[in-house]
Amino acid sequence: MKRTIKIFTLIIGLIALVLSCTKDEIDVAALTDFPPGIVSISPADNSKVVVGNFDIKVIFADGQSSPLSTATITFSDDFGNQLAAETKSLSGTRDSLVIPGSSFGAELLGPAVYNLSISVKDSKGQETTRDTKFEISLLPFAANYNEMYLSGAFNGWPADGSDAMTLVADHTWEMQGIDMQGGEWKLKNCANWCDKDWGDPDCDGIVQETTGGGPNSACSPSGLVNFRFNDQTLAYTILPAVEFETKLSGLYLLGTFNNFEGSQYKFNLIADNTWMLPEVELTTGDLFKFAEYPSFMGRNWGDSEGDGIAEEFGANIMFTAQSAFYSVTFNEKTLEYTLTFLRFPTIGIIGSATPGGWDTDTPMTDNGDGTFSVLIDLIDGEAKFRANNSWDFNWGGSDWPSGIAELNGPNIPVTAGKYNVTFNPTTLEYSFVEDAGFGSIGIIGSATPGGWDNDTNMKDNEDGTYTLLIGLLDGEVKFRADDDWAVNWGAADFPTGVGTQDGPNIPVTFGLYLVTFNSVTGEYNFAPASVGIIGSATPGGWDNDTNMDPDATNPNIVKVNMDLVDGEAKFRLNDDWATNWGAADFPTGVGTQDGPNIPVTSGTYDISLNVLTGEYNFQ
């Protein structure tokens, strides 16, 4: 009863306090009664300062009901030797303590890691403490990292340090005079991807940490640029390497393909008053205009006359040529614009010799070098190549098994067999190379379970491509055919590249990967993967996977410790049912693709799954 009365009295008191402040805003700062806070520390925790003179400064804060009283900073090296100590009486709600560099010979300190031990008290005796570290480095400017690299499709994703950036100001790294070719890229602080990396998939000018296989940056310009990155703010800028004359703030292509709005199709200034859009896919009948902004808020240009010379606020331009990818140039002075054909979106092979006959194209793969290819079974008959599943553009020739095709040329005579077919719609060269056939394709190397002695075979997708889910250690790998070195592929690039016969070992980093390899083109990709457990017995139910971690010594075994209830569970890849493992056995068994749900008894378990064998254990 006494407790009830006290609570009631407290409530009445609070109501009275609120009512007494109806005319004036309540002073929240005056009501605070928390331990003092540390607002900022310089040098900051885990930061780097340049060899030379620097001061140590810490800013503190507290509320009016318990103002600041005293603070102490102890400065020591990483061996515990005290280099400086300072205690100061503080006052008010915000104050600072500074130890001048001249007092402890800052300019004489060598490169090493140093420690700060900080404590602050308020008038009520409440105390806050914090221990931090910083590094004195030999870098020319202050920075958070000793090195920084810019890696991407434009320079082959190197791991040999050839993509190093230069520290040009405090926390500012730069790479000059590069052509990013409109491709993907990432920043990293270790040449061979051994520590952190960052990307900007949202294209907002601020990178986010993507260590462990996060998405690449999704956009970049073409043409020579200078790239700058601030490792403190994580902001970056991409500016033309050469300043060109222009009176526009920018230029964008707006049309029916983007609902006449958006920054997806942004031009680059490539010469005085001349803008270029490296690539856009246009379909016959598309309408478009040029605009200074990613909307029609500013100036825009159309072409009412259809003569290739635009007019400000002119009519929409109708695209009447063949559907394909084009580059677009626009001169803001003369208002002339040009569209240059780049490539067709699709190329296929069709004919009586192909699986689809004369009715259905067999799609060919764009190899990115101007050629298209496919591994295909053919019968005696004829074939042609054509674009966009249409006869508007088709090519044929009278020569077999290779030759130069002609537009609307004759049907190519075909002899039955399995062939690697290649066609270049620019040079019109074609070839049908009989597939030698491989009994198996495997991955081998120091990073694999079998080391350099035993291949781990990949799944044959029957189209020249092979896939494998595998855990890899830090090390090197290669692809090879039929467990023999007679035919093998390698390259210096990771996580993607094009392997060549007897090429270098592929450098790889620890992790779980879904590996794909094309035995026709040599293209490979190591895509970071995740394996999780899901089901009615798990915390996420059948809606959310609980991801498992690769074992440090054998990353093909993924593990997790978790509490389960009575129910069922399965394992699956990348939060998707396309690849999943199950079996009717518990607590151990061998999961198979689309196998039954695993019956689970409630308890706390160390759960493991071998992604190569499907063996699992609830221990």
The three-class DSSP label of residue 374 is strand
Q: Which pLDDT tens digit goes with each residue over 473-495?
A: 999 999 999 999 988 999 999 99
Query: Residue 399 pLDDT > 80, yes or no?
Result: yes
Q: Which CATH architecture has domain 531-618?
A: Sandwich (2.60)
What percent of the residues of the chain are helix, what percent strand, and what percent coil, each to the nearest 5?
A: 5, 45, 45
Average pLDDT over residues 281-293: 95
Bond prior to 43 in cis (omega within 30° of 0): yes
Average pLDDT over residues 290-307: 93
Query: Residue 564 pLDDT > 60, yes or no?
Result: yes
Q: Which fold has domain 252-343?
A: Immunoglobulin-like (2.60.40)
- Does domain 31-137 fall under CATH 2.60.40.2550? My reply is yes
Do 31-137 and 441-528 agree at the fold level?
A: yes
Burial of 381 (C-beta count, 10 Å sphere; 0-12/13-18/19+): middle
Query: Residue 7 pLDDT > 50, yes or no?
Result: no
Average pLDDT over residues 51-62: 90
Q: Which fold has domain 347-434?
A: Immunoglobulin-like (2.60.40)
Question: pTM of the predicted model, to two decimals?
Answer: 0.45
Q: Which fold has domain 149-240?
A: Immunoglobulin-like (2.60.40)
363: β partners: 348
In this predicted structure, what is the pLDDT of residue 171? 87
Q: Which pLDDT tens digit goes with each residue over 207-238?
A: 999 988 888 997 888 888 899 999 988 999 88
Task: Kindly state the DSSP code that residue 154 receives in the 8-state scheme.
Answer: G
In this predicted structure, what is the pLDDT of residue 436? 64
Q: Give me 306's structure tokens.
A: 């259809």
Per-residue buried b or exposed e for 195-213, using 16+ beta carbons within 10 Å of the residue's own CB = eebbbbeeeeeebeebeeb
**Rg of the chain on CA atoms, in Å:** 33
Other CB atoms closer than 10 Å to residue 405's CB: what's the count? 23
Q: How many Cα atoms within 13 Å fall on the side-chain side of residue 270?
A: 18
* Residue spans per domain, the chain: 31-137, 149-240, 252-343, 347-434, 441-528, 531-618
Q: Which residue has the higher pLDDT, 285 or 270?
A: 285
The CATH number that domain 441-528 falls under is 2.60.40.3620
Average pLDDT over residues 133-145: 88
Query: Residue 558 pLDDT > 50, yes or no?
Result: yes
Q: Which pLDDT tens digit goes with each residue over 160-181?
A: 999 999 998 888 999 999 999 8
Query: Residue 508 pLDDT > 70, yes or no?
Result: yes
